[in-house]
């Protein structure tokens, strides 16, 4: 089904990510449409039916551009330990799922978006979605490090879109890539397609550090700060419960 076409970067900047009644209805339909796949994933995980998708984490090449290097420095300096590890897991899980789907992606864009997608999550802005605030910060970082305006805009668009229901259907798009990777880490979205031994290795390298409890608290703060936002809508549909039911110990 994909994300609604009118919920783009221009919309995000103009509205701060606040939904109209029509948009709430659109996203509600997409959330309802995602239930069968979520239930299927959970059933497969409980039955021990797992896929074999994996990456070679020892030899994987990360983007080595000026922007990618600077973004990693900023992420390590500004993100809390549990959000930093989540950001790296988002990138690696997104890469695995993109390989499963057989889609190509712009590695620098998805790396930057993955590391910065939650940079404002733990400091909610009243009336303005954290994904939009994070996106705007990321655009400034990109421009300060030599990114052309259209490339900086693509980073902003990807981060702003990553929490839009349906975006994760297209991993060739940075927003879909981050949405899918973050969804796998938050509530086990498509985790059944990935080799469990590889997931265990990823968690050893990038531990969760009490992630469930901390991110659930962040969801509550964000929903209170932006009651007409996408996080508040997902929270009303049980996002916190999905987080706590995710197949991870913490």
Query: Is 230 within a domain?
Result: yes
Query: Is 1 within a domain?
Result: no
Query: Is 2 within a domain?
Result: no
- Full-model pTM: 0.97
User: How far, in Å, CA of 170 to CA of 246, rounded?
Assistant: 22
Boundaries of domain holding 201: 9-245
Q: How many domains does the chain have?
A: 1
pLDDT for 1 beyond 80: no
Query: Is 250 within a domain?
Result: no
Length of the chain as a residue count: 250
pLDDT for 2 beyond 90: no
Q: In 3-state terms, what secondary structure has residue 237?
A: coil
- Containing 161, the helix (H) or strand (E) segment is helix 149-161
Mean pLDDT, the chain, whole residue set: 96
User: How far, in Å, CA of 140 to CA of 148, rounded?
Assistant: 11
User: How far, in Å, CA of 80 to CA of 68, rounded?
Assistant: 19
Query: Is 66 within a domain?
Result: yes
Query: Is 32 within a domain?
Result: yes
- In tens, the pLDDT along 182-218 reads 999 999 999 999 999 999 999 999 999 999 999 999 9
Residues 6+ apart with CB under 8 A from 34: 165, 166
């Amino acid at each position: 089904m994909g994300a609604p076409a009118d919920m783009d970067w221009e919309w995000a900047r103009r509205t701060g990510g606040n939904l109209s009644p029509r948009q709430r209805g659109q996203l509600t339909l997409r959330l309802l449409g995602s239930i069968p796949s979520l239930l299927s994933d959970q059933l497969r995980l409980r039955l021990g039916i797992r896929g074999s998708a994996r990456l070679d984490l020892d030899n994987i090449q990360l983007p080595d551009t000026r922007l990618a290097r600077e973004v990693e420095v900023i992420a390590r300096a500004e993100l809390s330990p549990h959000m930093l590890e989540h950001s790296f897991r988002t990138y690696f899980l997104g890469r695995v799922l993109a390989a499963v789907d057989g889609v190509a992606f712009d590695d620098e864009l998805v790396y930057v978006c993955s590391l910065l997608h939650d940079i404002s999550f733990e400091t909610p802005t009243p009336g303005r979605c954290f994904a939009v605030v994070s996106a705007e910060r990321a655009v400034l970082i990109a421009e300060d490090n030599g990114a052309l305006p259209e490339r900086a805009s693509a980073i902003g668009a990807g981060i702003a879109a990553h929490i839009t229901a349906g975006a994760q259907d297209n991993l060739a798009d940075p927003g879909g890539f981050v949405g899918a990777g973050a969804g796998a880490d938050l509530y086990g979205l498509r985790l059944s397609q990935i080799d469990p031994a590889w997931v265990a290795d990823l968690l050893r390298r990038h531990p969760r550090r009490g992630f469930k409890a901390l991110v659930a608290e962040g969801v509550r703060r964000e929903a209170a700060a932006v009651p007409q936002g996408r996080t508040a809508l997902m929270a009303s549909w049980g996002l916190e419960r999905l987080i706590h039911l995710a197949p991870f110990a913490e």
